Amino acid sequence: MTGFGQGRQSRNRPGGSARALSEAYDTALLDLDGVVYYAGGNAIPYAVEALEAARGGGMHLAYVTNNALRTPDTVAAHLTELGLPTGPADVITSAQAVARLVADEVPPGSRILLIGGEGLRVALLERGLVPVESADDDPVAVVQGYGGPETPWSRFAEASYAVGRGLPWYASNTDLTVPTARGIGPGTGAAIEVVRIATGAEPKVAGKPLPPMHRETVLRTGAERPLVVGDRLDTDIEGAFNGGVDSLLVLTGVTDVARLLAAVPEHRPTYVAADLRGLLVPQPEVADGGDGAFWCGGWTASVSGGALLLDTTADGDGADAAGALDPLDGVRALCAAAWTEARAGACGLDATKALERLGLV
């Protein structure tokens, strides 16, 4: 497998790998919030140690974020402070993706109405475009990205004036929310809705899960065997699906097991792990036991009466030295049962008792 664009692959169970993922893939394409650090900027437990071990084994680490506010230099400096030495070239943002998209469609040196922050400004300048502040500054296009919670309402009005005059409109991403240290706040997508309501127009979007972001990632990383690592089904995992590459979902961010079990095909990851330590180990196979039952690591999952059921296998395979089974193996088995039952839709099965068995309710 080389790069992205190899075709979408629907799955009805998590995949297995006999080798550690850090050995099976040459590049980890890592989301940041909920994967490497929390919204407040502090590292998630085990993240730094796991990533340093993966890099020490030869895996290239690249950080791919829909956040268009911060520059690659700023992100790299933050990661370095956390104990992950990182250069700006290892950071790929939706601001860079949308700037390339615009540059491919307008003449060099064009004026672009900027509605966003410093990350988007730097990305436009990198492409030889000229950011301007007003619809009256003769822009040829409008580019909108996250500008932070202090963005004045007048910026959305300025975008609306320009888009209303017929200028092409581009957006870094459409994430409706953004995690912050104080809670969940409105994201770029919420701001885009303001302009959409005022104009009735639709922007061209670059960020995850859409192809321009993958194009930018491949061009900047040169990944041959990439593994997308994220915590969001609708951006990270769907983006990997759209790009035809494998993905690892870590359960340290916004996605819980109930959402994972209900995932539609484009939101089903190749692998599932509790945290980034999952990069350093092989991934167990989920076996089809027949009659709708699936086995993984000593657990067996099935469907009966509109509910997901979970039990242990008779031989107890998968138990550690203390005789305990890994709850994540139970999650993997449940995914196989739920996704197989749902086929191309979202699973509507009752998973309450199964998750109680795993201590996840």
Instruction: Return the active site residues.
Output: 31, 33
Cβ partners under 8 Å of residue 104, min gap 6: none
Nearest in space to 140 (alpha carbons), one of 155, 124, 156: 124
Please report where in the chains the tokens 């790998």 appear, as a residue. Answer: 17
Cβ partners under 8 Å of residue 29, min gap 6: 62, 64, 217, 221, 223, 226, 227, 228, 229
Output Rg (C-alpha) for the chain, integer angstroms.
22
- What amino acid occupies position 132? V
Query: How far apart are the C-alpha atoms of 336 and 12, rounded to whole Å?
Result: 6
Phi, psi angle pair for 23, to nearest 5°: -100, -30
Query: How far apart are the C-alpha atoms of 27 and 54, rounded to whole Å?
Result: 10
How is the beta sheet containing 293-296 ordered, strand by strand? 287-290, 293-296, 299-304, 307-312
